[in-house]
Amino acid sequence: MVRRIDRYIVRQLVVAIFFVLICLTAAIWLTQSLRLIDLIVNRGLPITTFLYLTVLLLPQFLALVLPVACFAAILFTYNRMMSDSEMVVMFGSGVGPLSLARPALACALGVTVIGYAIMLYFMPAAYRDFKDLQFQIRNNYSNVLLREGVFTSVGDRLTVFIRQQNSDGQLFGILIHDGRDPANPETLIAEQGALVITDEGPRVVMVNGNRQTRDTQGRQTTLYFDRYTVEIGTMQQEFAGRWREPRERFLMELLAESDNPDDVRFRNRLITEVHNRLASPLLTIGFAMIGLAALFSGEFSRRGRTARLLAAVVIMLACQALYFAAMSLAQRNVAAVGLLYLPSLLPLVLGLYVLVRRRRRPPAYADPATAG
């Protein structure tokens, strides 16, 4: 009989977890996707590439919402069973709190394993592809420059305008403002030209134009030319030398010693990310214990149960906030990484204490006539 009860509760929990997970992930996915809209508006990005970019962010969102989804599913499922008096019948048949909590803990353990798979492999792999593709899109000058009638920023201090482009790729009405050398900014105007991709990087060949500069005294100098070449950038060299963020790296890459100046500079962030990968999946078990402790810590009356459920939500949010605060603190002082495990282990210990105590003292049942 106990196994049948376990299977019944597990089925209810799995359905609820999937439902909450889909809702939360979709909400976060939609809001975060808005940050990539500029790639369509300003970069002419195809909708298929845009969707692929957003899909690459899904493992990151899943890792964030999995503990919350499991927590919400446990509260919803067990609260419904209590409201329908199913839990009362199970207690009456001799099933104790620990036995009833076992399906929830099994689901939480399964979600934790999935969380580790995401954090240790799928998230860094997907986020690395996302950052690589994002870098290539933002530095794909052939797509960026060939947009007619638009002032386009390329990099931090380079602005390009093209009036027209014909079917052969020839450019007309070219204006480039180059402020990459703050001491000597220059503006170039040409009647026509072309974008040339070389091994050293993309270049704009300008024909029949002038180059305008202004010295420190404010005097303008104009140089007329028949042909002039502007180097736009060296994307391949920049790509090869791009520093990978901690979220892009696999666990062994985070642990590896490196003489890279950026790795040395951000060593605290790398170490903190190691512990984040190990600690964040444990939040699922901690949050599950918060929900179970709230559900089984008092009588089954609706009034008392509602107060406990609200308290559980507040405690869960406080633990989540504590985790984010510990992350921020550990990035500044690596000695604080141990605090990342506190929001998981503390609810686990206290929750087990509540369940064991309730095992010795059966829950109080409210009078059905007054339970509403």
**Per-position DSSP letters for 222-257, written without gaps between them:** EEEEEEEEEE---HHHHHHTPPPPGGGS-HHHHHS-
At 269-311, the pLDDT tens digits run 999 999 999 999 999 999 999 999 998 887 665 666 888 999 9
Q: pLDDT band for position 257 (50/70/90)?
A: confident
Q: What is the H or E stretch that residue 319 is in?
A: helix 302-332
Hey, what's the torsion of the CAs at 161, 166, 172, 177, to 10 degrees? 20
How, if at all, do strands 171-178 and 158-165 pair?
antiparallel
- Which of the pair, 50 or 174, is modelled with greater confidence? 174
Domain extents in the chain:
2-138+244-360, 148-232
- The 10 Å Cβ neighbour count of residue 161 is 17
How far apart CA 204 and CA 222 sit, in angstroms, is 19
Number of continuous H segments (helices) and E segments (strands) in the chain: 15, 6
3-state helix vs strand vs coil in the chain, percent to 5: 65, 15, 20
Whose tokens are 């019948």? That residue is: 89
How far apart CA 256 and CA 249 sit, in angstroms, is 11
Tokens read off for 264:
């040395």
The fraction of the chain above a pLDDT of 90, given in percent, is 49
> Cβ distance 342 to 271 under 8 Å?
no
- State the pTM of this model: 0.75
299 secondary structure, DSSP code: -
pLDDT reading at 226 higher than 90: yes
At 301-351, the pLDDT tens digits run 566 688 899 999 999 999 999 999 999 999 999 999 999 999 999 999 999
